[in-house]
Structure 1
Amino acid sequence: MEPDPVGAEKLTGKLLVAAPSLRGSTFDRAVILMLSHDGDGALGVMVNKPTEVLVGDVLPRWISVVSEPGVVFQGGPVSLDSALGLVAVGGSDEPLGIRRVRGRLGVVDLDTPAEIIEPAVTAMRVFAGYAGWAPDQLEGEIDEGSWYVVDSEPGDAFRTDAQDLWPVVLRRQGGQLALMATFPADPSMN
């Protein structure tokens, strides 16, 4: 097994906030929660891109567990036909069917019966697809200024106003990043 890249453990649980240079791409104003980052690459989900697809329409047994607004979120451009469940775990135990990512945050095996998971979690989101990077690819994108790496707060992944997360996260950083929050969605309309 290869050693982790320097600082890799620091990216798991962090947020990647898309720089304005990604405007017009899949990652336009994206906020990505990093779920893993090691010598094999990186994986995260966009926590601010709700779709109009109801969880009950695609995964009906999870409707009682999933948090409001009860829709599937676009996790990223990779494997759009797959689903990933993200949860906030209520206690310190390692519940069956949940792999902890960092702190209370975990990924749930959606083949686990919902009745087993429900008592152990305080929040849940379902994502279609994910964002993935090959080894060293993400580091290159960060170095070129495509992403701002910032700390996540406990409720970021489960906000009911998720679509407003990009400016919220930038504002709370202060300084130049807070100023970026005022960057117009369409600069030609400025």
Structure 2
Amino acid sequence: MPQERHYFMMACATAWRRCGAAAYTSPMKQVLRSLLLLAASALAAPALSQSQEDAILLVAHPAFRDLEYRQTVLIAAPAPNGGHVGVILNRPTKRSLGSLFPEHEPSKKVMDPVYYGGPFSRGALVALVKADNTPGAGAVLLMKNVYLAFRANTIDHVIETTPNEARYFVGYVGWRPGELKSEIERGLWSVLDADVEVVFRKDTDGMWEDLLQVTRRIRASLSY
């Protein structure tokens, strides 16, 4: 359905601009337990590898004032290019997929709001999908049974088959190789294990505050 999808994505960009999405900028990359134990401002986290459990949660430091990432929680995982890819988890918009695309009937089945995922490709729709197997071509495995889908035909398939087993975002976050590691070393992010319940938490109000408290408790326990 290439023509329909082209219309769908063009409408997405137009509708998103009309929503008045705030302007934001970028963070990024991999973290090892040994690095985090040495970094006073960071948290212990699982070593990143090529397994299915490579994803991490990034909790913005309270002093991180960049409007893109202030008080945000992100999921991030290794990308095929050697960098990292992810989305902001706690920036829901006031629009639903169905309200943005009233002519696209399958979109009306999606109950959750559309989220702002990050500053990369703001006019494009991406989907965070819960699935036992890859939802389609180009989907990036973030953690076991959780994929980030970028391609239009893959997202179409998800919307038309399991619309509420996914969360939909406008834009995403990308990191060059080594970029996220550098930001963690600078203390911009605290790092936690990725957890599917947190990733798909329904009420994201207070998510940053809740996870910030978790990171502080972990830091306190490591200091003993």
TM-score w.r.t. length of structure 1: 0.73
Q: Distance in 2 between matches of 1:53 and 1:122?
A: 16
Amino acid at match of 2:68: T
Identity among equivalent positions (%) equals: 27
Q: 1:133 aligns with which of 158, 175, 181?
A: 175
Q: List aligned pairs for 1:1-190, cutoff 5 A.
A: 7-9=47-49, 12-37=54-79, 40-59=82-101, 60=104, 61-64=106-109, 66=110, 68=111, 70-89=112-131, 92-96=132-136, 99-108=140-149, 109-112=151-154, 113-114=156-157, 118-119=161-162, 123-173=165-215, 175=217
Q: Is the 8 A contact 1:85 1:107 kept in 2?
A: yes
Structure-2 change in CA distance of 1:177 and 1:81 (3 Å): farther
| Superimposed CA distance per residue, residues 92-149 of structure 1 (whole angstroms, 9 cap, x where no aligned partner) | 4444455533211112344244478634x76211111111122211111100000111
Q: Is the 8 A contact 1:32 1:47 kept in 2?
A: yes
Q: Is the 8 A contact 2:116 2:170 kept in 1?
A: yes
SS in 2 for 1:17: strand
- Report the alpha carbon displacement of residue 5 of structure 1 after superposing the two structures with TM: 9.0
Please identify the structure whose Cα radius of gyration is greater: 2
Q: Is the 8 A contact 1:96 1:117 kept in 2?
A: no
Structure-2 change in CA distance of 1:124 and 1:115 (3 Å): closer
Q: Distance in 2 between matches of 1:93 and 1:85?
A: 15
Greater shift, 47-56 or 21-30, is seen at 21-30
Amino acid at match of 2:95: V
Specify which structure has the higher proportion of helix.
Answer: 2
Structure-2 change in CA distance of 1:167 and 1:78 (3 Å): same
Which residue in the other structure is 1:181 paired with? none
Aligned residues: 169
- Report the alpha carbon displacement of residue 77 of structure 1 after superposing the two structures with TM: 1.3
Structure-2 change in CA distance of 1:143 and 1:37 (3 Å): farther
Unaligned runs of 5+ in 2: 1-29, 33-46
